[in-house]
Amino acid sequence: MSAWKQPGGTDRQGSFRESTVTSELGRTVRRRRGFHRRHPRWRLQQISFSRARGGASPSTDPDSITSSGARIRRVNIPSMGLASTIKQHAIEVGFDLAGIAPPSALQDLEFLPRWVRKGYGGEMHYLADPRRDDPRKVLSSVKSVICVGLIYNTPHPYSTNVQGCSAGERTSTAHHATTRDVRSRAWVSRYAWGIDYHHVMRRKLEQLRTTVEKLAAGVETRVYVDTGPIVERAFARLSGIGWMGKNTCLINELKGSWFFLGVILTNLELAPDLPAPDRCGSCTRCLEACPTGALVEPYVMDASRCIAYFNIELKDVIPEQFRTAIGSNVFGCDICQDVCPWNSRPLSGVSGPLYNDDPRDESSGAGSGQRRAATTSLPEFQPMQVEIKSHRPLSPRTTDREPAPHLPDTATFSLFNPPLESLAALTKEDFRRIFARSPIKRSKYRGWLRNLCVAMGNSRDLRLLPWLEAAAQHPDPVVREHAAWALRRLGAAG
């Protein structure tokens, strides 16, 4: 996941003043033929969709038909109704957000090479792929980019609301001696609790692609879910499904920022939507909350300092000066989204489409009180219940080359705020089996053990000493080095 800066210097609401108006529901809509009509965007889309469903069919430019009657690649279709049809179908297949962007995102895409040259990408060298500069290098005939979003947030508490899970926070067992469960806990990023989002998004995008390709002869498409040389967030911003926040995440006014992005490049010429205005205002909570200072300025992240970079992307030694700040995060980090006012705890546990026509509570406006942060009931994104089928007891004198402590109570646990000792009980075989369809597999087992060592060192839980002593004898030098660091930390704590 790349991090970027939204082009600066724009008036948050006035940057689109000449081409937009604001509806009674506070939504930005397109002026048409010079009239200042205040139809909400959802109504215009419903009208276009109804007309499209009522018999409108793709039309072909006479110039695009050869003398033999064969169609050539160029497709000319009533773009307004077609765009609405595609977005409506995106909602029908299960996406929560949908918009259309033009294939040119020059200002956004020009920033990426400069960002990479500054070293902000760390060891993520794939971000320097020159094809990221222009989608025409991926699909030469591209005319439009269909952008979709899928909510993955659940009603579970945020990491900043769970005791002992904030980065850098330490939990001493002495303070919890009288509680029922005194085990030290870890934090797995919210997006990784369930099934790998690539699988879920791709399945829905393929359904949408099938519909798009049936709209006319000669339609070409390419589908991407954070897997190819396409900067999804740049086009998603232009499609209007969200603005780029100061934490570099895309934020939707009605949904928050807990959503995955996917795109379909196509040679269909579709009417583009308008970019959403920046509504971060003067808020800097995400910058202030980042434990490692990865948000070097508004809209700019130095990913090489991000906790998620350290415990996912970085395959080698985590710089020692950042380990304490990592806290209990063993995979990813949610802090900059947890503290965002647009992600305040949900008033209701439902996810809904972009075209929701329910009146918005005035209190949810920028700079006001409680807002709705959309959640989903999709089972794929609920916290996984992990069952360990193979675990062995561990003592400080063990000669086992893969440390795995004995689980004291149960071999089943949830990935929401899981016990550290339960995660540490996973053998390499357990890890591969349990996380075969999980984003967590990206860290590899070696990285998993390394991350656990850091979290244990920050826990100040002396009961984890046996596991760390065994890990200090691990054949991998990276695991050994982090285990030795954690032992020193616990020794100082003791």
Q: Which of 473, 469, 429 is nearest to 448 (CA)?
A: 429
Q: Looking at the predicted structure, is the pLDDT value of residue 420 above 50? A: yes
Q: What is the rounded CA–CA span in Å between residue 142 and residue 162?
A: 46
Which of 84-98, 177-191, 411-425, 459-473 bottoms out in mean pLDDT, i.e. has the lowest? 177-191
Residues 130 and 272 in one domain: yes
pLDDT exceeding 90 applies to what percent of the chain?
Answer: 61
Do 85 and 35 reside in the same domain of the chain? Answer: yes
Higher pLDDT residue, 11 or 330?
330
8 A C-beta contact, residue 138 and residue 129? no
Is the pLDDT at 131 greater than 80? The verdict is yes
Nearest to 291 by CA among 338, 336, 244: 336
Residue 93 is predicted with a pLDDT of 97
Domain-located, residue 233: yes
175 lies in some domain: no
441 plus 345 within the same structural domain: no
Token readout for 476 is 């991998």
Chain-centroid distance, C-alpha 328: 20
Contacts of 147 (CB under 8 A, 6+ apart): 97, 98, 99, 100, 101, 232, 235, 236, 239, 241, 261, 262, 263
Stretch 99-104: mean pLDDT? 94
Q: Give the C-alpha separation, 252 to 420, whole Å.
A: 34
Instruction: Name, in order, each residue with C-beta under 8 angstroms of 259's C-beta and a sequence gap of 6 or more.
Output: 96, 97, 149, 150, 151, 152, 153, 242, 250, 252, 374
Percentage of the chain modeled with pLDDT above 70 = 69
pLDDT band for position 445 (cuts 50, 70, 90):
very high
Query: With 60 as the cut, is the pLDDT of residue 305 above it?
Result: yes
Task: For residue 159, tell me if it sits in a domain.
Answer: no
Q: Which of 368, 383, 398 is the last residue of a domain?
A: 383
**151-182 pLDDT, tens digit each:** 999 999 999 998 655 555 433 333 333 334 56
Cβ-contact 220, 255 below 8 angstroms? no
Would you say residue 371 lies in a domain? yes
Q: Give Cα separations from 12 to 15, 118, 368, 450 (angstroms).
A: 6, 27, 17, 43
Structure tokens at 456: 């244990």
Q: Is residue 161 domain-resident?
A: no
Domain contains 182 = no
Catalytic-residue membership of 334: no
Cα 344–Cα 295–Cα 311 angle in degrees, nearest 5? 85
Same domain membership, residue 391 and residue 352: no
28-30 and 144-151 strand pairing: unpaired
**Cα 161–Cα 278–Cα 115 angle in degrees, nearest 5:** 85
pLDDT of the residue at 182: 60
- Long-range CB pairs of 378-382 (<8 Å, 24+ gap) are 378/94, 378/152, 378/200, 378/351, 379/194, 380/194, 380/195, 380/200, 381/152, 381/154, 381/193, 381/194, 381/195, 381/197, 381/200, 382/154, 382/193, 382/194
With respect to residue 180, please indicate whether it lies within any of the assigned structural domains. Answer: no
CA distance 330 to 445: 12
Q: Which two tokens stand for residue 41?
A: 């965007």
349 lies in the same domain as 408: no
pLDDT in the model for residue 79: 62
Sign of CA dihedral 324, 327, 331, 337: negative
pLDDT at 234 over 70: yes
pLDDT above 90 for 249:
yes
- One-letter amino acid of 22: T
Check if the beta carbon of residue 431 is closer than 8 Å to that of residue 445.
Answer: yes
pLDDT confidence of residue 394: 44
Mean pLDDT computed over every residue of the chain: 78
CATH number at residue 449: 1.25.10.10
Show the domain range for 396: 385-494
Verdict on whether the full-model pTM lies above 0.85? no
390 and 379 inside one domain: no
- Is 351 in the same domain as 488? no
Tell me which of 351, 383, 415 is where a domain ends: 383
Asked if 261 and 392 sit in the same domain, the reply is no
Note whether residue 174 is domain-resident: no
- 28 strand-pairing partners: 22
Same domain, 353 and 465: no
User: Does the structure show a pLDDT above 50 at 21?
Assistant: no
User: Where is the domain boundary, 383, 402, 428?
Assistant: 383
* The one catalytic residue among 129, 134, 226, 400: 226
Using 50, 70 and 90 to split pLDDT, how confident is the model at 67?
A: very low
Number of domains the chain is built from? 2
Q: How confident is the model at residue 411 (pLDDT cuts 50, 70, 90)?
A: confident
The beta strands (E) that lie in 72-168 are given as: 97-101, 144-151
State how far the Cα of 447 lies from the Cα of 310, in Å rounded to an integer: 10
Q: Are 224 and 231 in contact (CB under 8 A)?
A: no
Please check whether residues 80 and 209 belong to one and the same domain.
yes
Q: Looking at the structure, tell me whether residues 397 and 368 fall in a common domain.
A: no
Q: In this structure, which amino acid lies at residue 49?
A: F
DSSP string, 317-381: PPPHHHHHHHTTEEE---HHHHT-GGGPPPSS-----TT--SPPPGGGSTTSS---------GGG
> How would residue 132 be classed by pLDDT, with cut points 50, 70 and 90?
confident
pLDDT digits (tens, 9 = 90+) for 331-383: 999 999 999 999 986 433 333 333 333 333 333 333 444 556 899 999 999 99
Task: Please tell me whether residues 379 and 390 are part of one structural domain.
Answer: no
